[in-house]
Amino acid sequence: MWLDVSLAVLMCVVTSYMAYLGVHVTLHPTEEPRKQKCYKIQFWICCGTALVLIAVQTVKNAQTQSAIRRQLANIERNTKQPPTVQTTVNVPPAQIITVDEAEKAKRKAIRKQLGKLLGEGNALRSACDTLDKDMRWHNWSSKVERYLANNLGSDYVARFKAIEQFNTICWAGIGQEMNMLDEFIRDFQ
Protein backbone atom coordinates (compact mmCIF):
# COMPACT_ATOMS: atom_id res chain seq x y z
CA MET A 1 0.00 0.00 0.00
CA TRP A 2 2.78 2.44 0.90
CA LEU A 3 4.45 1.70 -2.41
CA ASP A 4 1.22 2.58 -4.24
CA VAL A 5 0.92 5.83 -2.32
CA SER A 6 4.57 6.67 -2.93
CA LEU A 7 4.18 6.03 -6.66
CA ALA A 8 1.14 8.30 -6.83
CA VAL A 9 2.92 11.09 -4.92
CA LEU A 10 6.02 10.82 -7.16
CA MET A 11 3.81 10.92 -10.25
CA CYS A 12 2.17 14.09 -8.92
CA VAL A 13 5.56 15.70 -8.22
CA VAL A 14 6.97 14.82 -11.64
CA THR A 15 3.93 16.01 -13.59
CA SER A 16 3.72 19.20 -11.50
CA TYR A 17 7.39 19.96 -12.18
CA MET A 18 6.84 19.25 -15.90
CA ALA A 19 3.89 21.69 -15.89
CA TYR A 20 6.02 24.28 -14.10
CA LEU A 21 8.73 23.93 -16.75
CA GLY A 22 6.16 24.39 -19.53
CA VAL A 23 4.73 27.54 -17.93
CA HIS A 24 8.19 28.90 -17.13
CA VAL A 25 9.48 28.41 -20.66
CA THR A 26 6.31 29.96 -22.10
CA LEU A 27 6.42 33.04 -19.86
CA HIS A 28 10.22 33.46 -19.92
CA PRO A 29 11.46 32.31 -23.30
CA THR A 30 15.24 32.25 -23.62
CA GLU A 31 17.50 32.71 -26.62
CA GLU A 32 20.51 31.11 -24.96
CA PRO A 33 21.20 27.67 -26.45
CA ARG A 34 22.67 26.43 -23.16
CA LYS A 35 19.48 27.25 -21.18
CA GLN A 36 17.27 25.86 -23.94
CA LYS A 37 19.24 22.59 -23.83
CA CYS A 38 18.93 22.51 -19.99
CA TYR A 39 15.13 22.95 -20.21
CA LYS A 40 14.90 20.23 -22.85
CA ILE A 41 16.92 17.81 -20.68
CA GLN A 42 14.76 18.55 -17.62
CA PHE A 43 11.60 18.02 -19.69
CA TRP A 44 12.85 14.65 -21.06
CA ILE A 45 13.95 13.52 -17.58
CA CYS A 46 10.47 14.32 -16.25
CA CYS A 47 8.89 12.55 -19.21
CA GLY A 48 11.06 9.43 -18.74
CA THR A 49 10.45 9.36 -14.97
CA ALA A 50 6.68 9.65 -15.54
CA LEU A 51 6.81 6.77 -18.03
CA VAL A 52 8.69 4.57 -15.54
CA LEU A 53 6.24 5.40 -12.76
CA ILE A 54 3.27 4.65 -15.01
CA ALA A 55 4.85 1.35 -16.05
CA VAL A 56 5.46 0.33 -12.41
CA GLN A 57 1.88 1.24 -11.47
CA THR A 58 0.54 -0.73 -14.44
CA VAL A 59 2.54 -3.84 -13.47
CA LYS A 60 1.37 -3.61 -9.84
CA ASN A 61 -2.25 -3.21 -10.96
CA ALA A 62 -1.94 -6.23 -13.26
CA GLN A 63 -0.51 -8.32 -10.40
CA THR A 64 -3.33 -7.27 -8.10
CA GLN A 65 -5.95 -8.05 -10.74
CA SER A 66 -4.40 -11.50 -11.29
CA ALA A 67 -4.52 -12.23 -7.57
CA ILE A 68 -8.17 -11.14 -7.41
CA ARG A 69 -9.05 -13.32 -10.43
CA ARG A 70 -7.39 -16.33 -8.76
CA GLN A 71 -9.36 -15.71 -5.56
CA LEU A 72 -12.62 -15.37 -7.48
CA ALA A 73 -11.91 -18.57 -9.40
CA ASN A 74 -11.24 -20.34 -6.10
CA ILE A 75 -14.49 -19.01 -4.63
CA GLU A 76 -16.41 -20.07 -7.72
CA ARG A 77 -14.85 -23.54 -7.58
CA ASN A 78 -15.78 -23.86 -3.89
CA THR A 79 -19.37 -22.81 -4.51
CA LYS A 80 -19.80 -25.36 -7.30
CA GLN A 81 -18.43 -28.16 -5.17
CA PRO A 82 -17.96 -27.07 -1.57
CA PRO A 83 -15.10 -28.67 0.31
CA THR A 84 -16.13 -31.45 2.66
CA VAL A 85 -15.82 -30.57 6.30
CA GLN A 86 -16.28 -33.10 9.04
CA THR A 87 -17.16 -31.93 12.50
CA THR A 88 -17.69 -33.76 15.71
CA VAL A 89 -19.97 -32.37 18.35
CA ASN A 90 -19.06 -33.13 21.91
CA VAL A 91 -22.15 -31.52 23.41
CA PRO A 92 -24.57 -33.77 25.21
CA PRO A 93 -28.18 -33.65 24.03
CA ALA A 94 -30.34 -30.96 25.56
CA GLN A 95 -32.14 -31.89 28.71
CA ILE A 96 -35.68 -30.76 29.26
CA ILE A 97 -36.20 -29.61 32.79
CA THR A 98 -39.77 -29.98 33.91
CA VAL A 99 -41.27 -28.58 37.04
CA ASP A 100 -43.53 -31.07 38.69
CA GLU A 101 -46.89 -30.14 40.14
CA ALA A 102 -45.57 -30.07 43.73
CA GLU A 103 -42.90 -27.54 42.78
CA LYS A 104 -45.47 -25.43 40.91
CA ALA A 105 -47.74 -25.45 43.96
CA LYS A 106 -44.84 -24.48 46.23
CA ARG A 107 -43.86 -21.58 43.96
CA LYS A 108 -47.49 -20.45 43.82
CA ALA A 109 -47.73 -20.53 47.64
CA ILE A 110 -44.53 -18.51 47.96
CA ARG A 111 -45.83 -15.93 45.46
CA LYS A 112 -49.12 -15.76 47.35
CA GLN A 113 -47.45 -15.25 50.74
CA LEU A 114 -45.02 -12.67 49.34
CA GLY A 115 -48.01 -10.90 47.77
CA LYS A 116 -49.78 -10.92 51.15
CA LEU A 117 -46.70 -9.42 52.82
CA LEU A 118 -46.53 -6.87 50.03
CA GLY A 119 -50.16 -5.89 50.69
CA GLU A 120 -49.43 -5.51 54.42
CA GLY A 121 -46.45 -3.29 53.56
CA ASN A 122 -48.64 -1.15 51.33
CA ALA A 123 -51.16 -0.66 54.12
CA LEU A 124 -48.36 0.16 56.55
CA ARG A 125 -46.84 2.68 54.16
CA SER A 126 -50.19 4.46 53.95
CA ALA A 127 -50.15 4.82 57.75
CA CYS A 128 -46.59 6.17 57.99
CA ASP A 129 -47.76 9.44 59.52
CA THR A 130 -49.07 7.82 62.73
CA LEU A 131 -47.04 7.82 65.95
CA ASP A 132 -46.50 4.06 66.23
CA LYS A 133 -45.11 3.79 62.69
CA ASP A 134 -41.55 2.80 63.68
CA MET A 135 -42.70 -0.14 65.80
CA ARG A 136 -45.21 -1.32 63.19
CA TRP A 137 -42.56 -0.99 60.44
CA HIS A 138 -40.05 -2.93 62.54
CA ASN A 139 -42.62 -5.65 63.29
CA TRP A 140 -43.56 -5.96 59.60
CA SER A 141 -39.88 -6.09 58.52
CA SER A 142 -39.18 -8.78 61.14
CA LYS A 143 -42.18 -10.80 59.95
CA VAL A 144 -40.92 -10.60 56.35
CA GLU A 145 -37.39 -11.60 57.40
CA ARG A 146 -38.73 -14.63 59.35
CA TYR A 147 -40.75 -15.78 56.35
CA LEU A 148 -37.79 -15.35 54.01
CA ALA A 149 -35.44 -17.21 56.38
CA ASN A 150 -37.86 -20.11 56.89
CA ASN A 151 -39.00 -20.50 53.28
CA LEU A 152 -36.43 -19.00 50.89
CA GLY A 153 -33.08 -18.99 52.65
CA SER A 154 -30.51 -16.61 54.02
CA ASP A 155 -29.59 -15.08 50.67
CA TYR A 156 -33.10 -13.61 50.37
CA VAL A 157 -32.89 -12.31 53.95
CA ALA A 158 -29.55 -10.67 53.17
CA ARG A 159 -30.95 -9.00 50.04
CA PHE A 160 -33.95 -7.77 52.02
CA LYS A 161 -31.85 -6.48 54.95
CA ALA A 162 -29.45 -4.67 52.63
CA ILE A 163 -32.19 -2.09 52.04
CA GLU A 164 -32.93 -1.44 55.72
CA GLN A 165 -29.51 -0.08 56.56
CA PHE A 166 -29.80 2.75 54.05
CA ASN A 167 -33.29 4.06 54.92
CA THR A 168 -34.54 5.49 58.16
CA ILE A 169 -37.50 7.33 56.65
CA CYS A 170 -40.59 5.17 57.08
CA TRP A 171 -42.32 5.81 53.77
CA ALA A 172 -39.17 5.45 51.62
CA GLY A 173 -37.89 2.43 53.58
CA ILE A 174 -41.14 0.50 53.30
CA GLY A 175 -41.37 1.43 49.62
CA GLN A 176 -37.93 0.01 48.89
CA GLU A 177 -38.63 -3.12 50.92
CA MET A 178 -41.85 -3.57 48.96
CA ASN A 179 -39.90 -3.23 45.69
CA MET A 180 -37.57 -5.97 46.92
CA LEU A 181 -40.55 -8.23 47.73
CA ASP A 182 -41.91 -7.55 44.26
CA GLU A 183 -38.56 -8.63 42.83
CA PHE A 184 -38.71 -11.83 44.93
CA ILE A 185 -42.19 -12.55 43.53
CA ARG A 186 -40.76 -12.29 40.00
CA ASP A 187 -38.10 -14.84 41.01
CA PHE A 188 -40.90 -17.35 41.53
CA GLN A 189 -42.90 -16.76 38.35
Per-residue pLDDT tens digits for 154-184: 887 777 777 655 445 555 666 777 777 777 7
* Cα 25 off chain centre by: 60
Give Dmax over CA atoms of the chain in angstroms. Answer: 117
Backbone angles phi, psi at 173, to 5 degrees: -65, -45
Taking the C-alpha atoms of residue 126 and residue 136, their distance in angstroms, rounded to an integer, is 12
Residue numbers in the chain where pLDDT is lower than 70: 82-83, 89, 91, 93, 96-99, 128-134, 163-174, 188
